[in-house]
Amino acid sequence: MALQPMTSTQSPGGHGAHSGPSIPVALNGRALAGNRRIPLNLDWVDQVRVNTSAVERRTATQVARRTVKKDTQAAWLLRAIACMDLTTLSGDDSAERVRRLCAKARNPLQRHIVEGLDIAELHLTVGAVCVYHAFVETAVKALEGSGIPVAAVSAGFPAGLSPLAERVAEIHRSVEAGAREIDIVITRAHVFGGEWQALYDEVAAFKEACGADAHLKAILGTGDLMTLRNVARASWVAMMAGADFIKTSTGKEGVNATLPVSLVMARCIRDYAERTGMAVGFKPAGGIRTAKQATDWLALMKDELGRPWLEPSLFRFGASGMLGDIERQLEHHLTGHYSATYRHPLA
């Protein structure tokens, strides 16, 4: 069977994913540009309201309202792989582990699955490889010629509490080492204190440090922010400060990506696009481990933001663990049998 990963005008791999939208980006018929910094508008921040009960009701129906089966499910899972930031952020990371992860990023599916699905011509890769700064050069070398960008976690990840000058300097070093995407973490205390100018200035400094060659993903640490209103306000400030993506979590919080948080952030992106004419990407991270969860998030993005937010230029999963489950589901699609988890290692 020859599967296409949904209907797309580009290869689903990571090629060119960091260089901006590769398909026309529009929302409700309006063409959108990439995001750029605009002045902080405190009226927009103050006007934020979130009906928590309505958000929870909406997301509770997501699983039941959007299900996919058979060939359609397989195609959606291929799309999930194309939008995945394959990540290793462990204290025991090593250069060899990063090299093995990069090899998996180049060929995320085992050969017999690729041949069985007849998708060799898609040249499927993940969206990016995400590592600590210490391994940026290793990853860049291992991915040479693949077109897959390297993302570096920076700015005092995961707490974001080191001095601002040190966090900015770390971004400069990662970009100089070859990182084309920078995942920064905001100071959550700015949100708790309503210090919106300080948060804006912080994200703007990080964006400036990225220069013209790297995209900025702003991690809000939503599990620490306590309320959905805080999540929405932080999203607005980060977008006005020039973030190319807003991201839920570091993966280190007690609670990471959830559908309610993702719905709130997606609607902030939609409202921001309608007010400014600019598109911001979204990255849920942490706690997404199964193929079924992948399709839940993809369906949410399609419902709330439309087809362009199913491209790696505007949507990423910060989840590596689910790749093994996706492989298992695709193999089951081909054979009717589930293989053991150990047969689908990440690295």
- For residue 220, the domain's CATH number is 3.20.20.70
pLDDT for 341:
72
User: What are 5-44's pLDDT values in tens digits?
Assistant: 544 333 333 333 444 444 568 887 889 999 999 999 999 9
Lowest mean pLDDT among 60-74, 125-139, 188-202: 60-74
Of 252, 284, 244, 242, the closest CA to residue 266 belongs to 284
Q: Is the pLDDT of residue 244 over 70?
A: yes
Is residue 153 a part of any domain in this protein?
Answer: yes
pLDDT for 184:
96
DSSP state for residue 150 in the 8-state scheme = E
pLDDT for 59:
92
Active site residues: 183, 247, 283
Stretch 106-112: mean pLDDT: 95
Residue keyed to tokens 């998030």: 297
Cα of 193 vs its chain's centroid, Å: 27
Q: Is the pLDDT of residue 204 over 50?
A: yes
Q: Is the pLDDT of residue 237 over 90?
A: yes
Separation of alpha carbons 160 and 98, rounded Å: 24
Structure tokens at 318: 């910060």
Q: Is the pLDDT of residue 143 over 80?
A: yes
Is residue 263 a part of any domain in this protein?
Answer: yes
Q: Is 128 helix (H, G, I), strand (E, B) or coil?
A: strand
Is residue 30 a part of any domain in this protein?
Answer: no
Number of domains in the chain: 1
Separation of alpha carbons 107 and 92, rounded Å: 24
Is residue 330 a part of any domain in this protein?
Answer: yes
Angle at 62 between CA 21 and CA 227, to 5 degrees: 80
Is residue 97 a part of any domain in this protein?
Answer: yes
Separation of alpha carbons 19 and 22, rounded Å: 8
Whether 98 and 138 have beta carbons less than 8 Å apart is answered as yes
User: What are 75-98's pLDDT values in tens digits?
Assistant: 999 999 999 999 999 889 999 999
- At 103, the amino acid letter reads A
Lowest mean pLDDT among 20-34, 51-65, 243-257, 296-310: 20-34
User: What are 53-81's pLDDT values in tens digits?
Assistant: 999 999 998 777 767 778 899 999 999 99
* Conformation bin of residue 187: beta by default, left when phi > 0, alpha when psi is -120 to 50: beta
Q: What is the model's pTM?
A: 0.91
pLDDT for 252:
87
Confidence of residue 342 (pLDDT cuts 50, 70, 90): low
Is residue 7 a part of any domain in this protein?
Answer: no
pLDDT for 253:
85
Q: What are phi and psi of 61, to 5 degrees?
A: -90, -10
Residues in the chain: 347
Q: Give the residues across from 130 on adjacent strands.
A: 87, 151
Is residue 267 a part of any domain in this protein?
Answer: yes
For residue 311, the enclosing domain spans: 43-343
Structure tokens at 216: 């900025």
Residue keyed to tokens 């079924």: 292
Of 206, 196, 115, the closest CA to residue 166 belongs to 206
